């Protein structure tokens, strides 16, 4: 994939990630407070936003739960790595299934109250899953470009 496409992908994920940190940004740039309720509502579509599951930075909440934050952060890190690597790892189905299984096991153990919800575990499981998801997404984009016959990708 051409560097400019990789950079665009990284930038898009970074913008999305800045979106989930919008409350934190507003604390540094208070004039943006007008957009906060709209952005918050926007992210409510993709996350339950339960207050006890949100990550806090300096007592300021991110707009999505720990697991979702982990997923997006995993995608962000992998997209950043992809900027410097010519050929990314070929995604294998077992990686995807394992990372999904870890999330499901964590959710199951919490729901049967074997242990309490842990933000760090949720973030880490999300991070693993997000990283694998990015590999699939990256590969699918390459294949899509190939099908669309875009040369020199």
Partner 1 sequence: MRKYISSFVCGFSAGVLQIVPIIKNFTCCLIVPAASYIALTLDRKARNIVDKVSMKQSFMIGLMTGIYASIFGSLFDILITFITKTNDVVVAFPELQRMVNNFPVDNEIKRNIINLFQNIRNDILEYGFSWLYSISVIINNFFINSIFGIIGGLISGQIINSRFNNSSG
Q: Which residues bind partner 1 (CB under 8 A)?
A: 26-27, 30-31, 33-34, 36-38, 41-42, 44-48, 50, 64, 67-68, 71, 91-93, 96, 133, 136-137, 139-141, 143-144, 146-148
| Dihedral sign of CA atoms 34, 19, 100, 45 in order | positive
Cα–Cα distance measured from residue 66 to residue 86, given in angstroms and rounded to the nearest whole number = 31
Question: Between residues 30 and 118, which has the closer beta carbon with respect to partner 1?
Answer: 30
Question: Between residues 50 and 152, which has the closer beta carbon with respect to partner 1?
Answer: 50
- State how far the alpha carbon of 61 is from the alpha carbons of 9, 45, 64, 68, 146, in Å: 26, 17, 8, 13, 41
Shortest distance (Å) from residue 27 CB to partner 1 = 8
Question: Between residues 3 and 12, which has the closer beta carbon with respect to partner 1?
Answer: 12
Strands (E), 54-142: 54-57, 60-65
Shortest distance (Å) from residue 89 CB to partner 1 = 13
């Amino acid at each position: 994939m051409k560097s400019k496409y990789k950079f665009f992908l990284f930038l898009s994920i970074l913008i999305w990630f800045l979106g989930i940190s919008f409350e934190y940004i507003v604390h540094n740039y208070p004039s943006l407070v007008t957009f906060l309720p709209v952005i918050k509502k926007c992210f409510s579509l993709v996350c339950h936003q339960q207050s006890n599951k949100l990550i806090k930075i300096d007592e300021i909440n991110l707009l999505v739960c720990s697991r979702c934050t982990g997923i997006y952060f995993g995608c962000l890190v992998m997209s950043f790595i992809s900027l410097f690597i010519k050929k990314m790892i070929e995604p294998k189905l077992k990686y995807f299934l394992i990372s999904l299984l870890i999330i499901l096991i964590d959710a199951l153990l919490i729901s049967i109250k074997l242990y309490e919800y842990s933000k760090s575990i949720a973030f880490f499981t999300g991070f693993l899953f997000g990283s694998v998801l990015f590999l699939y997404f990256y590969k699918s984009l390459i294949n899509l470009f190939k099908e669309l016959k875009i040369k020199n990708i």
